[in-house]
Amino acid sequence: MSRAGRIAEVAVPLPVPHTFTYLIPDEYRDAVGRGVQVRVPFGRREIEGFVVDVGAASERKGLKPILKVAPGGAVFDEKMLRLTHWISEYYLVPWGEVLRTALPGGVRHRPGRKLAARAARDPWDVPASGLPREAFHPTAEQTQAIGEILGALGKREYAGFLLFGVTGSGKTEVYLSAAERVLSEGGSALVLVPEISLATQIVGRFRAWFGDRAAVLHSGLTARQRRETWDRAHAGELRVILGARSAVFVPLTDLRLLIVDEEHEGAYKQEEVPRYHARDVAVIRATMERATVVLGSATPSLESMENARRGKYRLLQLSERIEGRMLAKVTVADLREEGKESRAPVLISDLLRRRMRETLDAGGQTILFLNRRGHSTFVQCRDCGHVYKCPQCDVTLTFHLERRFLRCHYCNHVERQVETCPSCRGRRFFYRGAGTQKIEEALREQFPEARVVRLDADTTRRRGSQADLIGAFARGEADILLGTQMVAKGFDFPRVTLVGVLFAEAQLNLPDFRAGERTFQLLTQVAGRAGRGPSPGEVIVQTYIPGSLALAAALEQDYERFFAEESAERRELSYPPFSRLVNVLLDGASESQVAAVAQVVRDRLDAELKKAGARGLILGPAPMPLTRLKGRYRWHLTLKGDGGTKMRSALKSLLEWAESEGPSRRSVRVGLDVDPVTML
Ligand code: ADP
Ligand code: ZN
């Protein structure tokens, strides 16, 4: 190579849709290669970036040199560069932003450092639990599922499975058996869960089978512990990693199995840049690494089930509960009937109250589910009707009992509750829209002797408090577990015989095409918490609309019906999985400006689609359902199309235009959300 010098392409974590070229100073000639972290001048600043390519210098003059190179070589290997590049292309986000997200702790990495001889103590102190390895005798359905997965693992080619197993059917043991085979053959496995703090049980079971070869990535780790886990995974010391969304980037060596538990969960989608979906990235990673991927759920997303139907995944079914335990019996408490007698809304119906009493007397445990925290979701003046609202967001303020304050659940704005109405000076208020605190109040009144544990974002703010509360209930130190969706998921408490759903349609009427699917999934999950021990369970669902599809199908625990009817509707309206959506998000401080820019962006997108020869339907521009959030006005355009390369290139041009000459130069931000999970 001549002394003319060499250049590097550097991806920077900034909202620019391309990489930048820098000169490699002679002193760094050997140190700079693909995947290396560097410091570069950028405008008047210096920033961190990642080298994604190196080559001989071209004619181009005026290139700036790399300032510094992080020691220790590449932080990303070729596989990870390929995966992150795919994410950047598919989700139309800057490669540098993806790389920054994929780096543990997002900070400078020092690989090559001698690993501590003693394995770092894992601060996630979850004891081994569940069936020990020796005691596991698979059922016929489990044997079948395990057999198919092991068969695929033996081929060392990509294979995708959808493990559709009702709640309590023993999916975790299927995962464990597959992971065991992989480990015994020297490979490694990655297990993704929607939220690590709710995954203590699955973690305990992996501990029981794999001991120190398994580790957990969770938010309680320091950046350093995180890096250490990465290094040990990369070095092949750790063979199983369990973690949430971002664990999909852990560079496990010889990765042969990826498991995505509760694949239908929205938590797999990151709602900030880069907006990727970890389940879908896991599938792509599996194809790139010729690994096997298993998506598990009792209520598969329409997307995954449709993929299984089209043969993209092989469907494995566990249709029976372990030891022939019955799915709980579900009964409706029709609040329309109950409500006739009383003027105030019914919180706990007669039926539920009776069953709770019986359960208490029999020494059983009850779970009560209400997907709203706080005391009341809004406070209204009785005299003039004034409702307390957030000054920055288009939502009502939620009343919290402890210190009688009002809080915005979107931006955290807090107000002391005023004694007099700000608009008419009235002194009497309605507290409407019951939340978990109000229910707790009602329970203390109606079941004074019952020991109640409340589990929601307010009682679990302190680190570790969540595990404490769950532990107390698991040990039988409480009779009633009351909470938000935290109580709905994954728990396996054999003494729970009664589950009460206090307001089934709380989520159903949101302006989002997935509201029905989410309600169905949540209700099925909650119902699955009952009857996991030897005594059968009962679920009581309180609702005003027992006839709606999401509710009726959940009441019958009939996934097939839900899937068939919901699919038909989505197909008719051309919603996913029968089309691809891209949300074009706009936000700014002035609503009229956002609205005007939204129209310009729409015209531009229209033109770009035509130019690219892509077919697509643009909806909007329209204000988003939560129009004002944190003081910014939010509008969107929704593009429905086939998601193909033409659509993608039109969107890419749109972004380039927005960044270079269009609105992003001004005060309106333009962003894309590919395959959006929430439309609010
Ligand atoms: P899912 O994840 O499908 O809801 P789990 O994996 O939590 O179900 O299994 C439910 C319970 O049954 C767990 O306590 C598990 O240890 C136990 N279990 C699973 N498979 C078997 C089996 N073959 N024999 C006995 N118990 C089992
Ligand atoms: Zn707010």
359-387: pLDDT as tens digits:
999 999 999 999 888 888 888 888 888 88
Residue of 134, 141, 173, 319 with the most ligand 1 atoms within 8 Å of its CB, for mutation: 173
Q: For residue 3, is pLDDT > 80?
A: no
Q: What is the pTM of this model?
A: 0.89
383-416: pLDDT as tens digits:
888 888 888 887 888 888 877 888 888 778 888 8
State how far the Cα of 210 lies from the Cα of 237, in Å rounded to an integer: 12
Higher pLDDT pick, 406 / 5: 406
State how far the Cα of 665 lies from the Cα of 576, in Å rounded to an integer: 33
Pairing between β-strand 496-501 and β-strand 365-369 as defined by DSSP bridges: parallel
Ligand showing the shortest atom-to-Cα distance for residue 397: 2
Residue of 131, 319, 559 with the most ligand 1 atoms within 8 Å of its CB, for mutation: 131
Ligand showing the shortest atom-to-Cα distance for residue 137: 1
**Residue 511 pLDDT:** 78
**Residue 471 pLDDT:** 85
**Residue 345 pLDDT:** 74
61-97: pLDDT as tens digits:
788 999 999 988 899 999 999 999 999 999 999 999 9
Arithmetic mean of pLDDT, 523-543? 82
Nearest-CA residue for ligand 1 atom 13 is 170
**Residue 250 pLDDT:** 95
Residue at token pair 């043969």: 311
The DSSP element (H or E) to which 627 belongs, if any, is strand 616-629
Contacts 24+ apart (CB under 8 A), 411-417: 411/629, 411/630, 411/631, 415/388, 417/379, 417/388
Ligand showing the shortest atom-to-Cα distance for residue 320: 1
Sign of the torsion angle spanned by Cα atoms 35, 38, 41, 45 = positive
Residue at token pair 């109606």: 446
Measured from the Cβ of residue 416, the count of other Cβ atoms closer than 10 Å reads 9
95-109: pLDDT as tens digits:
999 999 998 765 444
612-630: pLDDT as tens digits:
999 889 998 988 888 888 8
558-580: pLDDT as tens digits:
999 999 999 999 999 899 999 99
**Residue 135 pLDDT:** 85
Residues having CB within 6 Å of any atom of ligand 1:
130-131, 136-139, 142, 165, 167-173, 322, 492
CA–CA distance from 233 to each of 180, 212, 213, 466 (Å)? 17, 12, 10, 28
Ligand showing the shortest atom-to-Cα distance for residue 533: 1
In the structure, what pLDDT confidence band is assigned to residue 112 with cuts at 50, 70 and 90?
very low
Residue of 164, 193, 203, 492 with the most ligand 1 atoms within 8 Å of its CB, for mutation: 492
468-508: pLDDT as tens digits:
888 889 899 999 999 998 887 767 788 888 999 998 888 78
Distance 325 CA to ligand 1 centre (A): 11
Q: For residue 536, is pLDDT > 80?
A: no
C-beta of residue 594 within 8 angstroms of C-beta of residue 587: yes
Distance 173 CA to ligand 1 centre (A): 6
**Residue 96 pLDDT:** 95
CA-based end-to-end distance of the chain: 55
Distance 429 CA to ligand 2 centre (A): 21
Pairing between β-strand 480-483 and β-strand 452-455 as defined by DSSP bridges: parallel
Q: For residue 665, is pLDDT > 80?
A: no
**Residue 59 pLDDT:** 65
**Residue 257 pLDDT:** 98
Distance 631 CA to ligand 2 centre (A): 8
Computed over every residue of the chain, the mean pLDDT equals 88
Nearest-CA residue for ligand 1 atom 23 is 138
The pLDDT > 70 percentage for the chain reads: 94
Higher pLDDT pick, 141 / 120: 141
Nearest-CA residue for ligand 1 atom 2 is 171
State how far the Cα of 518 lies from the Cα of 247, in Å rounded to an integer: 24
253-293: pLDDT as tens digits:
999 999 999 999 999 999 999 999 999 999 999 999 999 99
Distance 139 CA to ligand 1 centre (A): 10
Q: According to the 3-state scheme, what is the secondary structure of 362-428?
A: CCCEEEEECCCCCCEEEEEECCCCCECECCCCCCECEEECCCCEEECCCCCCEEECCCCCCCCCCCC
Distance 183 CA to ligand 1 centre (A): 21
Pairing between β-strand 405-407 and β-strand 414-416 as defined by DSSP bridges: antiparallel
Which domains are assigned to the chain? 7-102 (3.40.1440.60), 140-323 (3.40.50.300), 326-376+433-569 (3.40.50.300), 580-674 (3.30.70.600)
Arithmetic mean of pLDDT, 214-226? 83
Q: For residue 12, is pLDDT > 80?
A: yes
- Residue-wise over 635-655: b if at least 16 C-beta within 10 A, else e? bbbbbbbebeebbbbbbbbbb
**Residue 126 pLDDT:** 63
**Residue 125 pLDDT:** 56
Task: State which of 255-259, 415-419, 599-603, 661-665 shows the largest mean pLDDT.
Answer: 255-259
Listed range (133-137, 154-158, 208-212) with the worst mean pLDDT: 133-137
Selection from 356, 360, 364 nearest residue 534 by Cα: 364
Task: State which of 58-62, 145-149, 164-168, 595-599 shows the largest mean pLDDT.
Answer: 145-149
Arithmetic mean of pLDDT, 671-680? 90
**Residue 274 pLDDT:** 94
